[in-house]
A and B are shown apart, each in its own frame.
Chain A
């Protein structure tokens, strides 16, 4: 099992740092899955984290100058590591203006992801800052837990309103209620609703547009057969939605939201070649 990689370009470094910081805001621990072509940050929907699941996919070629990977075996050429993304985020922050950053898997007192940042210097002696982040290597028999989640057969798919506006609204609603109902239709309308003994609040967004799925034939089922105006809703823990809106630093080019009636809220952010999916389960 071997992994060594290198980032040189400052733009790539910044983007990678931003992705890692976003992940660190969304979860305390996650799994980093490395394959010859991609990196994945994965959180599987366990009861212990309230059923929230996350899947973030990056093409290594867009970030790394060098990327050498030797997986656990020839037929399973992958490595799965559990780590605290906050550690990685802090290490990347100290490497902000590095000339080069090397990330490799090392064996110290325990398995570590070692981040070595070569910082600019005035003299001929180079300065290198090294962070060792302890990781757990996940054995192959558990890999099944970290497979890409299948796209739910959603009832409605809609583009999200500007995330900043949505964050403001959700922040205030969180002061008033623990749960939020999010509903949308295929006519580009989305409502956020809370209701308590003291107050009921509904925010109406319109003209959001609905993403044209179905080109690949996978998502033509439920959504297209529905009446355009019919609202599909899901009730979620408002803190989980707030965490997602607070944490994201993507400034995504596209943000989409899929809803399976009373089952799941599926959020997708796209930024260049990075995609982040976030699943929030419904509460009764």
Chain B
């Protein structure tokens, strides 16, 4: 069942067809949001958005624009379904996800519509794998209502500098505290662990700081366990934008460059950790 002959005549029945010469361009970015099995896929003519959520407090979105794909055909305005992301990733990397230059897996992803499986055709070196992943009814993603007009503080950093800090974070701390301020300490990450407190300060005129727009001093705490999955996205990215809104919600946007130099985005939203007061 070679890819070329299989696809042409049967394309008409699919409401979504997406092909990619190098499957790593999508598998890598999906790995960056893999912390729960269920992933909500929503496709529009602009591309593909994949959403993963945890505990109603954390949401990760991966955006893969239509032009990343060699072919991206969609019938109608939007197509949505839910699949098991771990299973999907095992399928996408069925040939081992080789990083050897010149060896890549080609992918053709098709979906016939509600109630049908997501069908993947993968080809590497003349060997073809066909996967049919059962789909579920898509759940409505949580709307964190994070809009740029409510953003109080925003910094854009080279990921390099944040990677270093995140790799050294004291994971015994239950929370990560982020302070953003127009005055000192400008941008500070704090942990409160078994072996004491630690602060990482970034001066606003650092080379690593591409943009610094803080209007008021804000200190918020976020559960370390919730933020931990975002380090996968951080590892892949070249730049990261850190924003907080007036309610203390955190938005992390990662700019990821793929093997072919194209740009995709991964976004994490996280609720602040509210202190419960016993009265």
Q: How far is the CA of A43 from the CA of B134 in the complex (A)?
A: 41
Judged by a CB distance under 8 angstroms, whether B57 is at the interface is no
Determine whether the beta carbon of B129 is less than 8 Å from that of A201.
Answer: yes
Judged by a CB distance under 8 angstroms, whether B87 is at the interface is yes
Closest residue of chain A to B131 (Cβ to Cβ) is A201
Determine which residue in B86, B94, B117 has the highest number of CB atoms from chain A within 10 A of its CB, and name it.
B94
> Given the known A-B contacts A176-B87, A197-B134, A198-B87, are A203 and B93 also in contact in the complex, defined by CB atoms under 8 Å?
no
Q: Which residues of B contact A197 (CB under 8 A)?
A: 134
Determine whether the beta carbon of A198 is less than 8 Å from that of B127.
Answer: no
Determine whether the beta carbon of A203 is less than 8 Å from that of B91.
Answer: no
Which single member of B84, B91, B127, B130 contacts A161 (CB below 8 Å)? B127
Judged by a CB distance under 8 angstroms, whether A172 is at the interface is yes
Q: Which residues of A contact B96 (CB under 8 A)?
A: 165, 168, 171-172
B interface: dominant SS:
mixed
User: How far in angstroms is the closest Cβ of chain A from B1?
Assistant: 6
Which single member of A171, A173, A175, A205 contacts B127 (CB below 8 Å)? A205
Judged by a CB distance under 8 angstroms, whether B132 is at the interface is yes
Q: Which residues of B contact A163 (CB under 8 A)?
A: none
Interface residues on A, range: 20 to 34
Judged by a CB distance under 8 angstroms, whether A121 is at the interface is no
Q: How far is the CA of A205 from the CA of B126 in the complex (A)?
A: 8
Contact with B along A134-171 (1 / 0, CB 8 A): 00000000000000000000000000010001001101
Determine whether the beta carbon of B127 is less than 8 Å from that of A165.
Answer: yes
> Given the known A-B contacts A168-B96, A175-B90, A204-B1, are A198 and B129 also in contact in the complex, defined by CB atoms under 8 Å?
no
Q: Which residues of B contact A176 (CB under 8 A)?
A: 87, 90-91
Determine whether the beta carbon of B91 is less than 8 Å from that of A201.
Answer: yes
Q: How far is the CA of A199 from the CA of B130 in the complex (A)?
A: 10
Which single member of B90, B124, B127, B130 contacts A172 (CB below 8 Å)? B90
Within B243-279, which residues are at the interface with A (CB < 8 Å)?
none
Q: Which residues of B contact A165 (CB under 8 A)?
A: 95-96, 124-125, 127
Which single member of A169, A202, A207 contacts B95 (CB below 8 Å)? A169
For the A-B complex with A200-B117, A204-B127, A206-B126 known, give 6 more contacts whose Cβ atoms are closer than 8 Å. A165-B124, A165-B127, A169-B94, A176-B87, A199-B131, A205-B127
Q: Which residues of B contact A (CB under 8 A)?
A: 1, 84, 86-87, 90-91, 93-96, 117, 124-134
**What are 28 residue pairs bridging A and B, where the CB atoms are less than 8 Å apart in the complex?**
A161-B127, A165-B124, A165-B125, A169-B94, A169-B129, A171-B96, A172-B90, A172-B93, A176-B87, A176-B90, A197-B134, A198-B84, A198-B87, A198-B134, A199-B84, A199-B87, A199-B91, A199-B117, A199-B133, A200-B131, A201-B94, A201-B130, A201-B131, A204-B1, A204-B128, A204-B130, A205-B127, A207-B126
